[in-house]
Amino acid sequence: ETSYENLLVEQHGAVTLVRLNRPQALNALNSAVLEELITAFAAFEADPTQRCAVLTGAGEKAFAAGADIKEMAQKPAADFYAEDTFSRWTSHFAKAVRKPWIAAVNGFALGGGCELAMMADFIIASDTARFGQPEIKLGIAPGMGGSQRLARAVGKAKAMEMCLTGRMMGAQEAEQSGLVARVVPLANLLDEALKTAAEIAAMSPLAAIANKEMVQAAFETTLDQGLLIERRIFQVLTATQDRLEGMAAFIEKRPAVWQGK
């Protein structure tokens, strides 16, 4: 077991639960949090017993209230450019995780916190969740995908309004707008997210990765290319033991036993 300064990581059967744990800073995302998230998700990715992950915020108030403003307030512009600040969120985190994971948003998801939640395969939100890209109020703009992922999730009108005014969106509006898959009472959030993750974890791991990969392709490419990617991945899955098992189990009216082969 790796121990983390800014995260709490537990295994619940085949589900890895990761909690952002800087409640005194509303779980603001500094560079130490990023490096620990990269490590924790790489461990999840590498562990064949782990099939789905849930990311949430410790404490009742925030998922994450943004990138750490105090860490960046005095940072010279040349350092942002030289370090290609925030690029590792894409290259070493979002793109590096092939297994499915869910963001369980338990409160404020603002700025980088909203952007992190949108990196998940889907979001389950508590009724207390609030989403926003308030960067404009700091004289800046999103830098971890907010302008792109929010626009894809909720469309131009709401994405523009939220980025330009910095207003927050509540859980109900977020569900109606397509930003979140489901809203549940805060008291049930962790149970619901873990239950949903366990359901995914019980599927063939190859099929889970394949389903994720093809839905992701919908956001990266044209319809024609996407349909081709879908068919090719579908065809690859037909070569697995798991699809023989899945179809046999259906016909024999019994639960399937997946091997991940």
Residues that bind ligand CO8 (CB under 6 A): 25-26, 28, 65-70, 72-73, 108, 110-112, 134-135, 138, 140, 143
Going by C-alpha positions, the residue among 52, 54, 74 that lies closest to residue 124 is 54
* Choice among 25, 40, 67, 197 that is catalytic: 67
Q: Catalytic annotation on 135?
A: yes
Q: Which residue is nearest to ligand CO8 (CB)?
A: 111
Q: Catalytic annotation on 245?
A: no
- CA-based radius of gyration for the chain: 19
Backbone phi, psi, residue 9, to 5°: -125, 130
Q: Quick check: 20 and 63 in contact, CB under 8 A? A: yes
Q: In the complex, what is the shortest distance from the CB of residue 68 to ligand CO8, in angstroms, rounded to a whole number?
A: 4
Q: Between 111 and 205, whose beta carbon lies closer to ligand CO8? A: 111
Residue 23: half-sphere exposure toward Cβ, Cα within 13 Å = 10
Question: What gap in Å lies between CA 54 and CA 15, rounded to an integer?
Answer: 7
Q: Catalytic annotation on 67?
A: yes
Q: In the complex, what is the shortest distance from the CB of residue 137 to ligand CO8, in angstroms, rounded to a whole number?
A: 6
Q: Is the dihedral of CA 186, 191, 194, 197 positive or negative?
A: negative
Q: Between 26 and 159, whose beta carbon lies closer to ligand CO8? A: 26
* Choice among 112, 132, 146, 246 that is catalytic: 112
Q: Catalytic annotation on 83?
A: no
Whole-number Cα distances in Å, 97 to 19, 94, 212, 246: 17, 6, 10, 25
Q: Between 11 and 128, whose beta carbon lies closer to ligand CO8? A: 128
Q: In the complex, what is the shortest distance from the CB of residue 129 to ligand CO8, in angstroms, rounded to a whole number?
A: 12
Q: Between 100 and 132, whose beta carbon lies closer to ligand CO8? A: 132
Active site amino acids: 67, 112, 115, 135
